[in-house]
Structure 1
Amino acid sequence: MSKYDSKLCEFAINLFKIDAIKFGNFQTKIGMWTPVYCDLRMLVSYPKLLEDLVHIMHKKIQNVSFDIICGVPYTALPIATVLSIKTGYPMVMRRKEAKSYGTKKLIEGNYKQGDKCIIIEDVITSGSSVLETAKDLQNEGIIVTDVVVVLNREQGGEDVLQQDGVKTHALLTMTQLVEILENAGCIDTSVHNKVLQYLSQNQVQLNQPKMLSRLKMTYNDRINYTENLITKQLLKTIIVKQTNLCVAADLTQTSSILKLAEQVGPHICLFKLHTDIIEDFNVDFVQSVASKHNFLLFEDRKLSDIVEYQFNNGIFHISSWANVVTAHSVMGKGTLDAIKQSNNPVRCGVFLLAQSSTVGIISEAIKQSNNPVRCGVFLLAQSSTVGIISEAYTKATIELGKEYNDLVIGFVAQNPLFIDSPGYLQLTPGVQLEANTDNLDQQYNSPERVIIDKGGDIAVVGRGITKAEEPATVAAQYKHLLWDAYKQRTQI
């Protein structure tokens, strides 16, 4: 063990002793199997070991220039906290999602644009968690060039980070760790060799194009990143009309809806209805206006149970005219299965509402059906109304959607949750000229904030337009503000 620093060797052995490093056969969160599992969350129960770690870490980064510290949530947060206390460097904290109240910030703490931040991480494999944190920091004008990590698994993450201009400072590599543990008698040679063989056979693909951020890409460029026909149609409408505005026509009379559609039609890409509140509904009443002004029809029905009847039958016959609908994911794969197996050719996109602590799974049958698919699905990951959607549910919804890139249009969300996926669209409701909260806990954001800060691609405006004395004038105002925000975000 003489080739390694004695303090580092002692620390590595202690990690093994507290079960922070385990050997066997473990499944990772992405479904892969690994012979070694690193659970550095155990460190919070061992303050002396955490203090030893910070001492080694501080020594490692003595020649790195930085102003502030930020730990990748959540395992690295206590490490960053102790490092901040021991060194005197200020710490900022990145949230995995913004609060729905107060400042609604993703980065908490005292910082200013131009501050140089060093990221603290426990383990890197692909480097994706570090890049997510770096992007959120950079969105606030903070400079990120370095990350210090306890353990580099040597599976390509360091090279991925380097491609994005982030240098990795690792206290330990996996090769060093297993060598130290073998020399100390903690593991035998067969385990050592099994780990090294695993590393050589499980590498992140290198020399790939840098991950593009949808927030910086134009709508035109993003057409090439989607396989969904409704998404392509919607993007083309957005581009031709230069509008990312959706109007929510929550009105009860067809005459009022038709009048509104004529007024706002030139300024919108989507026209959202609640047909179940329309007192004199008929199937044909709005289609002519949609064709005249080139916008898509969006039925906000929130399909969930007996979907085959809700979607196809009754007086609304949604499947015969709507381009986009909403649906709950709580009932699982049966919801979209029913839509897909409709006798009518599927010609609508679906916003799946995920307002539960559990998430359903879209069935493979949706893809395998012989019916022609011209359907896009929007999964609701977050809501503009204060509610009980959990972070875990939001994350599961995003992961679910990414499994079906030929079916899912995107996500209804209040924060930029899928920056690295330009083929998906973010629909953000709750938009008014001035941000506020109403007496029903509905959260409103300004057009600029929704597009630039919140990551919205399409903004939904309801009463701000429908209650206006001159809806056409106000819709045009929203259209220009939203489009200018998009141009500012993409720097075009």
Structure 2
Amino acid sequence: MSDRTQNLMESQTNFSWATIELTDLRERLLDLFCEVAYREGDFLLSSGQRSTYYINGKQITLHPQGGLATGRILLPLISSETVAVAGLTLGADPIVTATSVVAAYEGRSLAALIVRKEAKGHGTQAYIEGPTLPENSPVVVLEDVVTTGQSAMKAVDRLRDAGYQVEEVISLVDRQQGGAEFYQQQGLKFKAVFTIQDLQQHVQKLQQV
């Protein structure tokens, strides 16, 4: 563990991730992304592309403070008409759960839905896990990192096939490699908390400290 990471982990006890203002919380989450999720090297992405950097979103969303921050930051981006958040397993599982739980603490009812890549081989053989909602219920798809946009689109298609209304995808990070343009072509709204430029510029800043 680097000295910077150690200092960051120790600093987490000096404030509450549950009550800190969202502007400050966003900066803390950006710190965490740069320290534990962003790596440079030679990587093969799930999209089949090669990249000189990799962002492991699960290092954030499965982190105790990172998961809490994820839910708190995403919740205000989700319209009050939305009744559920959903995403493709495995990456979106902790994101939709955190957002649903934070919503409950804020007095909002926001169901969490997990979309399987393949139908369950037993029981109901369902693609979607979670509460059964009325037809045309508005659902927002959540993602950790968007590259081409194809991964979250699988969740969108499954949810629409189940009768839900899906018009928006929200991601923690946009790698800006065509995902936003793809969603626009599909008639979907798209938001991202951070862009790859946000992360890389912040990494450079931290390296100078």
TM-score (ref. length: structure 2): 0.79
Map of 1:240 onto structure 2: none
- 1:128 and 2:144 equivalent? no
Map of 1:457 onto structure 2: none
Task: Give the Cα–Cα distance (whole angstroms) in 1 for the partners of residues 81 and 208 of structure 2.
Answer: 37
Deviations 1:147-186 (A, max 9, x none): 1100001111011011112111100011122122223336
Give how far 1:111 is off: 1.3
Map of 2:135 onto structure 1: 113
Map of 1:90 onto structure 2: 111
Give how far 1:16 is off: 2.1
Work out whether residues 70 and 92 of structure 1, in 8 Å CA contact, stay in contact via their aligned partners in 2: yes
Secondary structure, counterpart of 1:36 in structure 2? strand
AA at the equivalent of 2:164: I
Q: What does residue range 217-228 of structure 1 map to in structure 2 within 5 Å? A: none
CA RMSD of aligned residues (A): 1.9
More strand per residue: 2
Q: What does residue range 357-436 of structure 1 map to in structure 2 within 5 Å? A: none
Q: What does residue range 45-444 of structure 1 map to in structure 2 within 5 Å? A: 45-61=62-78, 63=79, 65-88=81-104, 89-109=110-130, 110-185=132-207
Choose the corresponding residue for 1:36, options 53, 78, 85.
53
- 1:21 and 2:35 equivalent? no
Secondary structure, counterpart of 2:207 in structure 1? coil
Greater gyration radius? 1
TM-score (ref. length: structure 1): 0.35
Task: Give the Cα–Cα distance (whole angstroms) in 2 for the partners of residues 125 and 29 of structure 1.
Answer: 9
Distance 1:72 1:99, change over 3 A: closer
| Runs of 5+ consecutive residues of structure 1 not aligned to the other structure | 188-492
Task: Give the Cα–Cα distance (whole angstroms) in 1 for the partners of residues 67 and 28 of structure 2.
Answer: 13
Work out whether residues 12 and 181 of structure 1, in 8 Å CA contact, stay in contact via their aligned partners in 2: no
Work out whether residues 150 and 171 of structure 1, in 8 Å CA contact, stay in contact via their aligned partners in 2: yes
Task: Give the Cα–Cα distance (whole angstroms) in 1 for the partners of residues 80 and 192 of structure 2.
Answer: 13
Secondary structure, counterpart of 1:184 in structure 2? helix
Q: Which has the higher contact order (CA 8 A, sep 6+)?
A: 2
Give how far 1:30 is off: 4.6
Task: Give the Cα–Cα distance (whole angstroms) in 2 for the partners of residues 7 and 180 of structure 1.
Answer: 15
Work out whether residues 96 and 142 of structure 2, in 8 Å CA contact, stay in contact via their aligned partners in 1: yes
| Runs of 5+ consecutive residues of structure 2 not aligned to the other structure | 1-22, 105-109
Work out whether residues 54 and 79 of structure 1, in 8 Å CA contact, stay in contact via their aligned partners in 2: yes
Map of 2:12 onto structure 1: none
Q: Percent identity?
A: 25
Give how far 1:66 is off: 1.1
